[in-house]
Amino acid sequence: MNKKTEKISQIIMVSVFILFIFGFAVWSLLLKDREFSEMENRNLAQFPSFSWKSLNDGSFTSGLEKYVSDQLPMKDELVTLKTDADRLLMHDLQNGVYFGKDGYYLQDYKENSEQVEKNVGYINDFVSFCPDVEIDMMLVPNSISVMSDKLPASATTQDQNKTISKVKEKLSDKIRFYCPMDELKKAVSDGTQAYYKTDHHWTSDGARAAFDGFVKFLGEDELKAQYSCRELDGFLGTLYSKAPSAFSEKDVMKLYTDKDNKLSVNYVDKDKETDTIFDSSFEDKKDKYSTFFGGNFPLIEIKSSNAQNNKKVLILKDSYANCAMPYFTSMYSDISMIDLRYYHDATKPTVSEYVKQNNIDKVILLYNVDFINSDDNFTWLM
């Protein structure tokens, strides 16, 4: 290649690059700003309001940077393209997600010992405020632990069994502790899909296997309810959002309904009451897991017409509890669900006060291992 041809080639490359950047800039200006991303399940940054104060303190430029990033044309498609390029280069870990065997996405796990010990300490303090109430805990392992055989050979994730043992060891002896590791592994070996392929939650069938083991552990009668099942196709979950790929397998979500049980579901803070735990408005959205209750709320109170026993139960929970509620509502006639991530209002009774004011017979803590390892809201127990 002579110098003249080389120079022309360089000019063409630079011109294409400039046109590409300029084209995206013009495209961004012409497109209407998006307010919400279904892929990321969050509100997107909007153009920041300008003032000399915001310019001087840096908040305007920071807001502008977030705005440009969030409103980038074809952002979802570009992220998907990057993920697939990385997979073709045999990169097994992206954005904290391992690409496992049989289409499973597995969320990486690193123990935060300090946070775990803090959370167990808050739970033990809570027990001292409720000395006369039966308290049980179900700590659910995540898919990366139950299905570790799906991990790529290069995985360097930590073992959740160490965290589970630590929680059990440090937990107050007044709490009956149950971990459904064996039940979930058996369910998987028997062919049950206990976890979604593209989401961090367990499935309704995984929750049922754990629930049956929990009831047996507590010495209570096994669940006798009969359920109808409705299926939702095309579910791509939270782990897919972290590492979207054209090769991802969509999941089927199962919704179980107790045929003989009528429910009254009261969303206390929303002044809303329904007769079902399902919110059909999410069935056609990407965030299909929010079909259970419409998401997570500070306090939900549920009464069942045909439960197996009349205990008043408080479930302290993360989102893993949501798809297990068909079984709990068949078992217990009066259930309150508190999610500490949202139960922060100083005008409300504390959790221990709620237990006393509502004559709660039993408290069940239902959390997944990753949640107790990372969440910092257990301080709101008192």
What is the predicted pLDDT for the residue at 382? 81
DSSP summary character for residue 305: S
Give the distance between the most distant pair of CA atoms in the chain. 90
Residues 6+ apart with CB under 8 A from 163: 111, 116, 369, 372, 373
Three-state SS at 265: strand
Does residue 259 belong to any structural domain of this protein? yes
Does residue 84 belong to any structural domain of this protein? no
Q: Phi, psi at residue 218, to the nearest 5°?
A: -80, -10
* Nearest partner of 192 among 203, 178, 182, 181, judged by Cα: 203
Do 50 and 174 reside in the same domain of the chain?
A: no
What is the predicted pLDDT for the residue at 67? 60
Do 254 and 333 reside in the same domain of the chain?
A: yes
Three-state SS at 382: coil
Do 254 and 336 reside in the same domain of the chain?
A: yes
Does residue 130 belong to any structural domain of this protein? yes
Three-state SS at 99: strand
Q: Edge-to-edge strands of the sheet including 97-99? A: 93-94, 97-99, 105-107
Q: How far apart are CA 163 and CA 372, in angstroms?
A: 9
Does residue 364 belong to any structural domain of this protein? yes
Q: How far apart are CA 108 and CA 96, in angstroms?
A: 5
Do 39 and 142 reside in the same domain of the chain?
A: no
Do 8 and 127 reside in the same domain of the chain?
A: no
Q: How far apart are CA 375 and CA 197, in angstroms?
A: 23
Do 16 and 119 reside in the same domain of the chain?
A: no
Do 162 and 306 reside in the same domain of the chain?
A: yes
Do 37 and 185 reside in the same domain of the chain?
A: no
What is the predicted pLDDT for the residue at 74? 56
What's the domain range around 339? 101-381
Mean pLDDT, contiguous 10-residue spans, the chain (382 residues): 58 55 52 59 65 72 64 59 66 91 96 97 94 95 98 95 97 97 98 97 98 97 96 94 89 96 96 96 93 97 96 97 98 98 90 95 98 96 86
Q: How far apart are CA 152 and CA 35, in angstroms?
A: 37
What is the predicted pLDDT for the residue at 81? 58
Radius of gyration of the chain (CA): 24
Q: How far apart are CA 99 and CA 91, in angstroms?
A: 9
**77, 109, 127 — which closes off a domain?**
77
pTM assigned to the model: 0.82
Do 142 and 290 reside in the same domain of the chain?
A: yes
Do 375 and 318 form a contact (C-beta atoms < 8 A)?
yes
- Strands (E) in the chain, as ranges, are 36-37, 42-43, 93-94, 97-99, 105-107, 134-140, 175-178, 227-235, 251-258, 263-267, 272-274, 299-304, 309-317, 332-338, 362-368
Q: How far apart are CA 110 and CA 358, in angstroms?
A: 38
Does residue 96 belong to any structural domain of this protein? no
Three-state SS at 188: helix
Does residue 282 belong to any structural domain of this protein? yes
**43, 77, 111 — which closes off a domain?**
77
What is the domain count for the chain?
A: 2
What is the predicted pLDDT for the residue at 209? 98
What is the predicted pLDDT for the residue at 26? 54
Does residue 234 belong to any structural domain of this protein? yes
Does residue 83 belong to any structural domain of this protein? no
What is the predicted pLDDT for the residue at 253? 97
Q: How far apart are CA 78 and CA 101, in angstroms?
A: 24
Q: How far apart are CA 292 and CA 297, in angstroms?
A: 11
Amino acid identity, residue 276? T
Do 51 and 128 reside in the same domain of the chain?
A: no
Beta bridge partners of 362: 134, 313
Do 297 and 207 reside in the same domain of the chain?
A: yes
What is the predicted pLDDT for the residue at 334? 98
Do 110 and 46 reside in the same domain of the chain?
A: no
CA dihedral (99, 100, 103, 106) positive or negative: negative
